[in-house]
A and B are shown apart, each in its own frame.
Chain A
């Protein structure tokens, strides 16, 4: 038993660590790690990943919420969309053939790689749309000089629509869909990038939680796998977030992209060859 536990913990700590320093979350890496290295069925890996994503989101959110980076109101509005998608996605994960899940996973890896390459700077709005202003979605963020700058939010319905897709992918594939969530907030709704990342991290807990509840209630979570994976991913994510402050993440961006492309190729190949 000890060998199994050590190998699962090692995979999970590694996935949590890379997920934290890349900003993409542990789920993106733990699903392929369990499928490729531990030879777990895709559905088992997805169930274990959803549970661990809840844990890492809670752990990482604490500091971001306390320090004011998370836009709690934007999160609460958009969670309506992600929860809807996540419940539908988690239900479909039980009936969709593995080949489809593997192909979708490969596609999501490509999207994450694209996002990692094309992350853009902040485009701060001083006037939001009427819906966002009525809901008080604007906030404050420090600029390069440390001065607080007020920002407003726009195109809430369009951002919400992409959030439904993010939730769907989260429930279907056991990932946090952080890259899609940040794209929706940063590219569409003009929420500053760091606020988008912190808010996405916060929302991921609820999105993955909705999917995890479907899996748990259906009896599709293998406790034997999910328990050590949750512990390992959380430990890895905590270690990653500590190291993050001392790393030049920009120089690692190309490494993350290569890892994502390799995972996409492997999952795509598995789907096509029917492994």
Chain B
């Protein structure tokens, strides 16, 4: 496929991908804030004051996050919203990577693979750091 056709696919689908995930993340975040305000305003204020003093909750495993959602903890919904937001760049680069594989444009397969690997390394660095 010609470079022009690759670029056309990217110009059509990239904005759709970006907008869809961004809207999804915003819906989750607003829902989480409304639920927090309704059901756990005291916990929010407590956490806000703690954060101001520099006390963060620290690492939270994905399993623990799911447990919090099952318990109906609205704060966990906010965390999910932030994770969905970070999917925006990951999904966009993964989409480009798959397109370039399909089109056998190996130089750009290498560039996008490197960026994807960098994003994954970021998660690993954060997990051990």
Contact = CB atoms under 8 A, between A and B. Distances in A.
B and A form one assembly:
yes
A15 to B, nearest CB: 17
Contacts, number: 196
A268 B50 CA distance: 26
B65 to A, nearest CB: 11
A224 interface: yes
A211 B122 contact: yes
A44 B85 contact: no
Interface residues of A, number: 63
A227 B52 CA distance: 15
B129 A214 contact: yes
B15 interface: yes
B52 to A, nearest CB: 6
Contacts of B107: 134-135
B125 A87 contact: yes
B28 to A, nearest CB: 9
Given A206-B89, A224-B48, A58 B7 contact: no
A76 B111 contact: yes
B29 A225 contact: no
- The SS class assigned to the B binding surface is helix
Given A66-B15, A210-B118, A227 B88 contact: no
B122 A213 contact: yes
A93 to B, nearest CB: 10
A221 B59 contact: no
Contacts of B22: 55, 58-59, 234
A87 B82 contact: no
B81 A227 contact: yes
Contacts of B111: 76-77, 79-80
A130 to B, nearest CB: 13
B44 A54 contact: no
A87 B122 contact: yes
Interface of B: 3, 7, 10-12, 14-15, 18-19, 21-22, 25-26, 29-30, 32-33, 36-37, 41-42, 44-45, 47-48, 51-52, 54, 56-60, 75, 78-79, 81-83, 85-86, 88-90, 92-93, 96, 107-108, 111-112, 114-115, 118-119, 121-127, 129
Interface of A: 1-2, 4-5, 38-41, 43-44, 51, 54-55, 58-59, 61-63, 65-66, 68, 72-73, 76-77, 79-80, 83-84, 86-87, 90-91, 94, 134-136, 205-206, 208-228, 230-231, 234
Given A209-B90, A210-B119, 19 more contacts: A1-B37, A4-B48, A5-B33, A41-B51, A41-B54, A54-B85, A58-B88, A62-B18, A65-B11, A66-B15, A86-B118, A90-B126, A206-B92, A214-B123, A216-B83, A219-B60, A222-B47, A227-B82, A234-B22
